[in-house]
Amino acid sequence: MAYVPLADRDHEMELHHPHTWIGKWVFCQDHKVIAIQYGSIAIFTGLVGLVLSLLFRMQLGFPETADFIDPSFYYQAVTMHGMIMVIYLLTALFLGGFGNYLIPLMCGARDMVFPFMNMLSVWVFLVSVIILMASFFVTGGPTGGGWTLYPPQTTLAGTPGHDMGIVLMLISLAVFIVATTMGGLNYVVTVLQYRCRGLTLMRLPLAVWGIFVATILALFAFPALLVAAIMMLFDLLLGTSFFMPAIIESGTPLDHNGGSPILFQHLFWFFGHPEVYIVALPAFGLVSDVLSVHARKNIFGYRMMVWAIIAIGGLSFVVWAHHMYVSGMHPYFGFFFATTTLIIAVPTAIKVYNWILTLWEGDIRLNAPMYFAIGFIFTFIHGGLTGLFLGNVVIDLPLSDTYFVVAHFHMVMGVSPVLVVFAAIYHWYPKMSGRMYHEGMAKLHFWCTFLGTYAIYLPMHYLGFLGVPRRYYALGSTDFLPASAQDLNTTITIAALFVGASQLLFLINIIWSLRSGPKAGPNPWGAASLEWQTPDTPPVHGNWGDSLPTVYRWAYDYSVPGAHQDFIPQNTPESEEPTVDAEHFDPDTDGSKADV
């Protein structure tokens, strides 16, 4: 089969137009519906992870009140919280949710290349979530071995969930990897092959670049987790000794011999570090677009931004052992991995500079998505800089396994990406639903989340300096921890409860606005990229009506000198630049204004 010319593509793709409710919302092959399914499952799972975190924070902050939390449940909650947030919320939401929604729209395609496989992907993802949740109901409960699942600990009697919980966790991860691979192949091929006429790679919005590179990372990094999971299952169920050395379990020697626990850590982090960027790169991309649109200015240094995404993606495969400085691996590795880790700071810093320089001399509309985007820059600077402490191998000696680590990675890959998630949901909500969210409630949500999380994590760094170890059910009595460390823990818990509760604002806003939000119009922000130029809002199945768009310019033609309005859509030919100023959504004239 020769290559199908683009003009014929409209006919090539057979879209399945479903007529029943089930066909439209359950077994649907439309990338937009699949995106919403992916996103909803991820957010629901994330809510479970959030509640778990509030429960174990109760134990840490109010050990007397929270006497219903025993050590066993504490470790299970900590473990499940970590795994859910990293894998089942953030990875699934960025790739399966935003990737699915935005890639075909931003590429000017009708759908993903393989819509049926796309549908399978979301269903397999749901199966993995169900298996994960099932572990709450089996004997022994879910695994409590920490989200890193280090053997031999996770499989021994001294760890909660060492019998069924860990098996279900490993199986769930394997199933999740199948889902990600199916989705990932789709995203990569769609970006390569289904861009519309005139849409060169360098005309793509950075959101697509971020998701594209992150998908490639996911395709190459998740196999390491799969390999580790398979080998661990062999050790666990078939009695092999890949990771299991000769050890004693509760006084009884086991039959294992000679295995290497550090081998597991290498495999895990060979996946685990790229995983950080699987979450971060889509966030970088999405926030770049939000900043650019609301600053009415092109993203500053687009080429550098693309190079940085590629450089970070490549480097992320050669820094993994910085999670293992104190693991007992050969200490000479420390020199290499400290160097590569600090090198990765350079392209990351460039991205930060360029975001700020995008604001410089802009025409900044302080809409809710912009609040979240600017909040992201602040938290990301904070989290990125603390990473320079931990990446520098000797500073990791005092700080690793303390609350400093917890605070660092929550700033950089918890709070920051989540702020982007909110920015992106508010930003694309009008396109997805056809209605505006409630601006005031969204801003209130921003203030609660932004200030609340900083109140959680800034003090937590200092607990880490003090030497408070992570994953302690109770601090107990020590000579060096002042009693006020517990007070700080209590404060942090109060802030966490506040942040947790304030997420209701988001849920209420999103659900309420679906029916009652004001109608949004096709392009309320005056954005130039393709997804805002669809003939219908929300876009219907097939996205583009009768014919596919043609792209004449990059995605960032904002405030072009000589143009009559401050943005030129990507599909506007040079000769037809519009002359009428489009109406922007302006929070200042919006009735729901609430600049708290």
Partner 1 sequence: MALAVVVVLLVVGSIIFHFMQLYGGPWYFTELAADWGTIDFTINVTFWVTGFVFVVANLFMAWCVYKFRHKDGQKAVYEPENHKLEIGLTVFTTVGVIAMLAPGLFVWAQFVTVPEEADQYEVLGSQWQWQFRYPGADGQLGAADVSHVTPANPFGINPDDPNGQDDVVVNEPNMHLPVNRPAHALLRSHDVLHNYTVTQFRVKMDLVPGLVSYLWFDPTVEGTYDILCEELCGIGHFVMRGSVTVESQAEFDAWLASQPTFAETQAISEPDMAAGQAAYAICASCHGAQGEGNQALNGPKLAGQGAWYTERQLRYFQTGVRGGEGDTLGAQMTSMSMTLADDAAIRNVAAYIESLPDTPLDPTVTGDVENGRKIYQANCAACHLDDGRGTWYTDAPSLAGMSDWYFVTQISNFGAGIRGLHPNDHYGEQMVAMATAMSNISEIEDVAAYINTLR
Partner 2 sequence: MSFFKTITTKPWEKKGVIGGLDPEGAINAPNEKVALSVFLVVISVVFSLFTVGYFLRMELPDWQPLSEPGQLWFNTGLLVLSSVLFQWARNIVNSESSKHLTAAFIGGGFFAIFFITGQLVIWSNLQDAGYYMTSNPANAFYYLMTGVHAVHLLGGLWVWSKSSIKLLSGSEAKSLKLSVELCTLYWHFLLIVWIVLFAILSNT
Q: How far is the CB of 347 from partner 1 (least distance, A)?
A: 9
DSSP classification of residue 469: B
Rg (CA), the chain: 24
Shortest distance, CB of residue 451 to partner 1, whole angstroms?
A: 8
Q: What φ, ψ does residue 393 adopt, rounded to 5°?
A: -50, -40
Nearest to 219 by CA among 194, 189, 251: 189
Give me the helix-helix angle, 100-107 and 31-61, nearest 10°: 140
Least distance to partner 2, CB of residue 413, Å: 23
* Residue type at 371 in one-letter notation: Y
Residue 339 binds partner 2, judged by CB under 8 A: no
**What is the rounded distance in angstroms from the CA atom of residue 105 to the CA atom of residue 195?**
10
Residue 87-126 contact track with partner 2, rule CB under 8 A, x = bound:
--------------------------xx------------
At closest approach, how far in Å is the CB of 594 from partner 1? Answer: 11
Place of tokens 């320089």: 357
Smaller CB separation from partner 2, 310 or 497: 310
Q: Give the binding-site size for partner 2 (rule: CB under 8 A).
A: 62
Closest distance between partner 2 and the C-beta of residue 296, in Å?
15
- Cα 358 from chain centroid (whole Å): 23
User: Does position 13 bind partner 2 by CB under 8 A?
Assistant: no
Tell me which of partner 1, partner 2, none is bound by residue 553, counting a contact when its beta carbon lies within the kind-specific cut-off of 5 to 8 angstroms. partner 2
Residue 567 found at the interface with partner 2 (CB under 8 A): no
| 239, interface contact from partner 1, partner 2, none, CB < 5-8 Å by kind | partner 2
Contact between 198 and partner 2 by CB under 8 A: the answer reads yes
Assign 507 to helix, strand or coil.
helix
Please list the residues that pair with 550 across neighbouring strands.
Answer: 197
Q: Scan for tokens 């393709």, then name that residue.
A: 530
Q: Which is nearer to partner 2, 48 or 173 (CB)?
A: 173
Q: Which of 29, 59, 288, 298 binds partner 2 (CB under 8 A)?
A: 298
The residues pairing with 402 across neighbouring beta strands, listed in sequence order, are: 469
525 binds, among partner 2, partner 1, none (CB under 5 to 8 A by kind): none
Does 31 contact partner 2 by CB under 8 A?
Answer: no
Please report how close the Cβ of residue 240 comes to partner 2 at its closest, in angstroms. Answer: 4
126 binds, among partner 2, partner 1, none (CB under 5 to 8 A by kind): none
Q: In angstroms, what is the minimal distance from the CB of 139 to partner 1?
A: 8
Q: What is the DSSP string of 382-423?
A: HHHHHHHHHHSHHHHHHHTTBHHHHHHHHIIIIIHHHHHHHH
Question: Could you write out the DSSP letters of every residue in 539-589?
Answer: --TTSSTTS--B--S-TT-BS-TT-SSSB--TT--GGG---SPPPPP-TTT
Of these, 396, 557, 569, 585, which contacts partner 2 (CB under 8 A)?
557
Q: Rounded to an integer, what distance in angstroms lies between the CA atom of residue 221 and that of residue 181?
A: 11
Q: Which does 178 bind (CB under 5 to 8 A by kind): partner 2, partner 1, none?
A: none
* Per-residue CA distances from 161 to 153, 226, 264 (Å): 11, 20, 19
Binding residue (CB under 8 A) for partner 2 from 148, 241, 486, 592: 241
Q: Which residues bind partner 2 (CB under 8 A)?
A: 1, 3, 5-7, 113-114, 181, 185-186, 188-189, 192-203, 219-220, 223-224, 226-227, 230-231, 234, 238-242, 255, 257-260, 263, 266-267, 270, 298, 302-303, 306-307, 310, 550-554, 556-557, 573-574
